[in-house]
């Protein structure tokens, strides 16, 4: 339970980030908030030092909340990640220590789906490449066969991971006249069963999706089972004319294998928002015009980021007030 503030024993919550004004008010009203004020990431040492004695931790995807941090934070009751993904947190270990982990699903579904479509259009119509060309002063004239792209109408979109975001991406496909199929990535039991039931489009096997889709979009969480899920073998199953889109987590794709596939023209292009070793990007990908590369912007709208912080804050307030979390993560 939240302790009496007048006694000077308010629970402390560590926030690893500067956040927009006002969003932390529900926390500051009831708890002592220790907010990291610098624009960069906390080092693991600083995080370990400041998490000591904290009852709550509000963190982001670039904060690695591993055993060392969870051990240092022996008073922790809740870790609220400002993200839907939670591969930066050792959730299984947190569970053994009785620490609740929460994420921010739902509020970012639309923004990630919108960015995914931005990437689909950008790579199929060569928008980033065209922008570079114009800026470089290299555009000399209009011509009939100049920078031709691929039309989406009548083509097949394959959604790998037909959950909330995958479904939101799929639902927008009708606006472009695309046919949609979905396939589960790695079977995650019940969660995947419920996704399957709610996906309002045709479900096929993963292999059929890879072999028949013109655009393949990845929407699976990063787990041990999905690490390098898209490898040389699966890339080789795709059509030579197909495009691969990733707004999930970088390490779901073997980046070196993707660079190879693009270089060998085994697929037509790729558009990525996420990378295996962010902010580093495989050097070969950076040289390929067939790759559209953006810097992890999936949930990056003002509306969504604010809503994500609000959800994280509400989770901390709930748990530290003895209530169940709104959006807990379970492994």
- Segment 3-62, which members bind ligand GLV (CB under 6 A)? 61
Q: Applying CB under 6 A, what is the total number of residues that bind ligand GLV?
A: 7
The one among 12, 15, 65, 85 contacting ligand GLV by CB under 6 A: 85
Please identify, among the stretches 2-10, 25-33, 78-86, 312-320, the one whose residues bind ligand GLV according to the rule CB under 6 A: 78-86
Separation of alpha carbons 220 and 230, rounded Å: 11
Does 197 qualify as catalytic in the annotation?
Answer: no
Helix, coil or strand: residue 176: helix
Query: Min. distance of Cβ 298 from ligand GLV in angstroms?
Result: 5
Does 190 qualify as catalytic in the annotation?
Answer: no
For the window 106-125, what string marks contact with ligand GLV as x by the rule CB under 6 A?
Answer: --x-----------------
| Cα–Cα–Cα angle for 80, 82, 83, rounded to 5 degrees | 115
Query: Min. distance of Cβ 211 from ligand GLV in angstroms?
Result: 29
In terms of CB distance, is 84 or 183 closer to ligand GLV? 84
Does 278 qualify as catalytic in the annotation?
Answer: yes
Q: Report the 3 state secondary structure along 243-282.
A: EEEECCCHHHECHHHHHHHHHCCCCCEEEECCCCECCECC
Q: What phi and psi, each to the nearest 5 degrees, are found at residue 257?
A: -65, -40
Question: Is 182 in contact with 162 (CB distance < 8 Å)?
Answer: yes
Query: Min. distance of Cβ 81 from ligand GLV in angstroms?
Result: 8
Separation of alpha carbons 245 and 195, rounded Å: 20
The one among 299, 314, 315, 327 contacting ligand GLV by CB under 6 A: 299
Query: Min. distance of Cβ 219 from ligand GLV in angstroms?
Result: 11
In terms of CB distance, is 102 or 299 closer to ligand GLV? 299
Helix, coil or strand: residue 159: strand
What's the distance, Cα to Cα, between the start and end of the chain in Å? 25
Q: Is the dihedral of CA 198, 203, 207, 213 positive or negative?
A: negative
Q: Does 250 bind ligand GLV (CB under 6 A)?
A: no
Binding site for ligand GLV (CB under 6 A): 61, 83-85, 108, 298-299
């Amino acid at each position: 339970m939240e302790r009496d503030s007048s006694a000077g024993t308010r629970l402390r919550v560590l926030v690893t980030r500067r956040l927009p004004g006002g969003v932390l008010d529900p926390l500051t009203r009831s708890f002592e908030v220790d907010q990291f004020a610098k624009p960069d990431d906390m080092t693991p040492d600083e995080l370990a030092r400041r998490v000591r004695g904290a009852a709550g931790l509000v963190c982001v995807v670039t904060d690695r909340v591993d055993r060392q941090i969870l051990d240092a934070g022996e008073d922790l009751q809740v870790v609220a990640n400002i993200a839907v993904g939670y591969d930066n947190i050792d959730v299984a270990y947190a569970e053994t220590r009785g620490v609740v982990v929460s994420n921010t699903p739902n509020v970012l579904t639309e923004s990630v789906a919108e960015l995914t479509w931005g990437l689909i259009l950008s790579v199929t119509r060569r928008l980033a490449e065209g922008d570079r060309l114009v800026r470089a002063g290299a555009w000399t004239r209009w011509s009939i066969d100049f920078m031709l792209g691929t039309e989406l109408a009548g083509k097949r979109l394959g959604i790998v991971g037909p959950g909330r975001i995958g479904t939101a991406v799929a639902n927008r496909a009708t606006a472009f006249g695309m046919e949609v199929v979905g396939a589960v990535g790695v079977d995650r039991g019940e969660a995947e069963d419920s996704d399957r039931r709610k996906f309002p489009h045709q479900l096929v096997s993963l292999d059929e999706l890879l072999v028949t889709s013109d655009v393949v979009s990845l929407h699976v969480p990063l787990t041990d089972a999905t690490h390098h899920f898209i490898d040389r073998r699966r890339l080789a199953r795709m059509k030579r004319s197909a495009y691969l889109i990733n707004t999930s987590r970088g390490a779901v794709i073997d980046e070196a294998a993707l660079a190879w596939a693009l270089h060998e023209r085994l697929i037509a292009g790729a558009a990525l928002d996420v990378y295996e070793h962010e902010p580093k990007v495989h050097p070969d990908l950076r040289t390929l015009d067939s790759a559209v590369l953006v810097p992890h912007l999936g949930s990056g709208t003002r509306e969504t980021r604010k809503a994500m912080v609000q959800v994280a804050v509400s989770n901390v307030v709930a748990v530290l007030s003895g209530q169940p979390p709104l959006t807990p993560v379970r492994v």
